[in-house]
Amino acid sequence: MATKAATIAKTKTGPARLTRSSQADSPIRETSPAASTPAQPLDPRLDNTVSKVDRLEDALDEIRERFDTHVSSLDARLDALAELLQGNGGPTRGPTAPASGMTPNTLISQYLPWLDQGVLSNVVSRKLEVRELVKLLPEEDRPKGRTAAGLASGFHFDAATGKTTVVSEQSSAFDKDIPDFQTGVYILSIYGAIRAAYDPDSTGIGTAILLYIKQLTRWYKVDRFTWSSVRAYFIAHFRKYQTSCDPHHWTDIDLQLFAAHMRHPDPASAPSSHKQPFAKPKTLDVCNNWNTEGKGCTWKKCLRKHSCSQCGKEDHPAYQCKKTDQN
């Protein structure tokens, strides 16, 4: 009886399992005549193409993720920069900066209160014109006699005086705005302080500008290059590297600019160190004191000629001259 029941159960359940298996494993029903036909293999070239498409989709997904990350980071930096420019303070070295550190707002309000907002914005965005460098100085410390302070290149008409001024880059900036080494260092010190304060990525740009000032100082004070040469290098370097965030562009010497601008003074115009402070004249007058009886000359550095005023000989004074007796 048990064997017969098992046979009946197997007969009932067998076709059901066959039907489920055929439905799951193959779209062709078991009852189809085509079931006995073997499946054709896929073309290897088609399989290769599908694999390449899959890899391309994965690469595109990775690029999208990286792009979204960069956009989010850029948005955060722009928001932080906008907040700093509006004077809301905030850390200068990222979110981990100590609360007691020097913030840009503190730097500007306490130590550089004269700075124009437009000039400050141009420094932070690295778009400052060379002719605007002098505006980093307080009004009272700017060089006197500047004829074209803050004027753009071109023709300018003064309604008060009726005079027309032609302003070129040479006449408006360098000789008048940065006339000497001290003024140049003054300007660069303020510029470096601002760049250091607005350095959220901690690139060390402020330290690099300090080392740049050190190099200019050595050229002028130790190597004795002319100030006009050092200033020409500084201006050309500022134009070329202001937009760069790489501190090495400030610490490393640009050899091309160095060769183009750096010059020593002309030897013909330089004062000679061998000249005596009191040069003797080519024709010396006779010393009257030395020729006067009872007086004489006691000055050891006397520049007059100690010779007889009668005959010109140096072995006796005039009051002992025999030529006078013979006359």
Q: What is the DSSP string of 9-67?
A: HHHHHHHHHHHHHHHHH-SS-TTSGGGGSPPPPPPHHHHHHHHHHHHHHHHHHHHHHHH
| More confident position, 320 or 189 | 189
Integer Cα distance of 247 and 245 in angstroms:
6
pLDDT at 269 (0 to 100): 53
Mean pLDDT of 213-227: 95
pLDDT at 96 (0 to 100): 40
Q: How many helices (H) and strands (E) does the chain have?
A: 13, 2
Tell me, yes or no, if the pTM score tops 0.85: no
| More confident position, 295 or 121 | 121
End-to-end CA distance of the chain: 185
The residue type of 7 is T
| pLDDT confidence band for 20 (50 / 70 / 90) | very low
Integer Cα distance of 197 and 106 in angstroms:
10
